[in-house]
Amino acid sequence: MAQCTRHGGAPLTIASRCEDEYEAAEQARMHDAQFHPAPKPASELTDTILDHLDHLALSSAQEDVLGWAKGDKLREDPDGFWAMDVSPTAFDVNKKISRNRVLTLWAAGYLTPDLLTPGLRHLHLTPEGERLYRWLRLALREDLYDYGPTDAGLDISAAQRAAYPLVSEGRTFPGETAYAPRTGTAAPAPGPAPTAPATAATRPAQAPERRAETAPHLRLSDPAVAVLHTAGAHPAGLVPATVKGKYIRKLTSCKYIEPDAQGVRHYITTEGRVRAGHEPRRKVVIVPCSASKLDHPAPAAQFYTGSYHVQCRKAATALGGHILVLSALHGLVELSQVIEPYDLKAGDPGTVTTDTLHAQARRLLVAGADVTVLAGATYTRLAQAVWPDATTPLAGTRGIGEQKRILAQLSTTR
């Protein structure tokens, strides 16, 4: 039974019979949403902030750059500025970005570089850039902002943009190691010099045995191990472009990954595959989203309120490992990620594509993880497109009742 005591007098019965505590909680949530809705938080957008946004008049393309920086996708290499993994329908698709667009935002104080390996930089939002991007997103969602027709100049001069030390020009920030393009060396014997990095297919066969003896004694952090497993799951052994520089440097120094001929992209080596084989894969549990959601933006951990989702989350917590929500619209979602209200279920037009899921799994460093899927058939099929060997405890069940019984059993595994 579910009751409400906020109507005055005797408790009001919401539902006389509920199958379990989760159904009772769902009935109570639906009642609260109808009769006791929580007040929406007041917008932080004051008239002063809106006037400031109108004065800046940023273009849609400039807002995209801020969003890529926010999402850790903005890079600079010897070929220019790039947004990495930006296609929602294709795998590892990168977009070239206007140099002036990035340099204007940098000179205005909205972007700052993270100096990685020579010739490769990540660009992130500064605190001021974080505030500006948050205000832009709020204003756009509340229909209080119109993009400028062209890129805003932001009162930045050509001299201010020129102060940025471009990688393509061989210039550096203070303390940064200069980029030296690889020109190749003569081979010790007649024959063409190699043009591609050594890989599992080209490195001498004895190398894995020599490295395998010492690999377990070289300590790696969990994220570094996840990089190896993720690269190992890629058909070409490609390390995700979004990996932080400290892991690139560590794994390169251990000879577990190596750069391509341009020194920009990295690939797992035979030694790296051997080391990955010594390490347990990261445990990940995938749970589905739910039709029942909050009516305002919130972290995914609170946003999805359906009883089935709640029970899957409870079982996932008992199993242990990193929990990700599989959203029909957003794909793989961290519990801390803020989600805005939407209405879409798996199978509807607009459902997340498998290419997007593959790209997200690489960005989150879970492409090579040990995955368990706690979901119905439709969401399980989506997950298995990325992890065909995933464990699926709910596969083959004959209905929601049997699935809930299995979930209840899993919830007591600790």
Q: What is the pLDDT of residues 311-328, one digit of tens each?
A: 999 999 999 999 999 999
Confidence of residue 20 (pLDDT cuts 50, 70, 90): low
Separation CA 264–CA 80 (nearest Å) = 12
Q: How confident is the model at residue 42 (pLDDT cuts 50, 70, 90)?
A: low
The mean pLDDT of the chain is: 83
At 44 the pLDDT is 80
- Of 81-85, 106-110, 121-125, 403-407, where does mean pLDDT reach its minimum? 81-85
Give me the CATH topology for the region 47-163.
Answer: Arc Repressor Mutant, subunit A (1.10.10)
Give me the percent of the chain exceeding a pLDDT of 70.
81
> Residue 197: what pLDDT?
45
Chain segment 93-131, per-residue pLDDT in tens = 678 999 999 999 999 999 999 876 677 888 999 999 999
Residue 347: per-residue pLDDT: 83
CATH value of 283-411 in 2.40.50.140, 3.40.50.720, 3.40.640.10, 3.40.50.10630: 3.40.50.10630
State the Cα angle at 44 between 41 and 49, rounded to 5°.
160
Taking 80 as the threshold, does the pLDDT of residue 339 lie above it?
yes
Q: What confidence category does residue 78 fall into, taking pLDDT thresholds of 50, 70 and 90?
A: confident
